[in-house]
């Protein structure tokens, strides 16, 4: 019998954080300076990763609160047309932080009726960052920079189209295992 299966479900989610606390406690007793450095590095990592994760979480809360599946389907569904493409492209370009922080949002959008095209477009357009455009121009010139951004945009649309063709009508959320 598996030890985890005999534990209450609410406790299983706390095993990793509790284990980390126990390890920090052991290291603190053995080498306080190493524990302090480790805690400092963990805090730095949390500040870097936490902001985009909480931003994506906040957007998910707002989406769940104010957007119904009907609205998502209208704005980013299969029949949303150029407006949906514009919205998913703009959202991808303006989004920041690590991509994995956005995965729960993408899943929520898919579950509420967003098409595979628009989710893939959102993900692919994240490579285009207007904030870095002046830097790219400074290093490579205007012609290269404009062509590079346009090629990225066309590539994002191509990737979204291929994903949509491959996944059209086949979205099945993963099954929860216990």
pLDDT in tens, the chain (178 residues): 577 778 788 788 888 889 988 998 999 999 999 989 988 998 888 887 777 777 767 776 776 677 665 666 667 777 777 888 888 888 888 877 778 878 888 888 888 778 888 889 989 998 888 878 888 888 899 999 999 999 999 999 999 999 988 987 565 555 555 5
DSSP the chain: --HHHHS-HHHHTTHHHHHHHHHHHHHHHH-HHHHHHHHHHHHHHHHHHHHHHHHHHHHHHHHHHH--HHHHHHHHSTT-HHHHHHHHHHHHHH--S-GGGTHHHHHHHHHTT--HHHHHHHHHGGG--GGGHHHHHHHH-HHHHHHHHHHHHHHHHHHHHHHHHHHTT---PPPP--
Domain spans of the chain, in order of start: 12-66, 68-171
């Amino acid at each position: 019998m598996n030890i985890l299966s005999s534990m209450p479900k609410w406790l299983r989610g706390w095993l990793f954080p509790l284990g980390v606390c126990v390890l920090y406690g052991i290291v603190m007793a053995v080498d306080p300076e190493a524990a302090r450095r480790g805690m400092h590095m963990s805090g730095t990592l949390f500040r870097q990763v936490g902001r985009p994760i909480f931003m994506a979480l906040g957007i998910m809360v707002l989406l769940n609160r104010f957007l119904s599946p009907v609205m998502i389907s209208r704005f980013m569904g299969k029949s949303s047309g150029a407006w949906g493409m514009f919205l998913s492209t703009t959202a991808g370009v303006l989004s920041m932080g690590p991509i994995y922080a956005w995965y729960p949002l993408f899943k929520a959008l898919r579950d509420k009726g967003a098409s595979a095209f628009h989710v893939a477009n959102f993900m692919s357009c994240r490579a285009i960052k207007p904030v870095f455009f002046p830097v790219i121009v400074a290093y490579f010139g205007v012609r290269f920079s404009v062509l590079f951004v346009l090629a990225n945009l066309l590539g994002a649309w191509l990737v979204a189209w291929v994903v949509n063709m491959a996944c059209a009508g086949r979205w099945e959320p993963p099954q929860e295992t216990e």
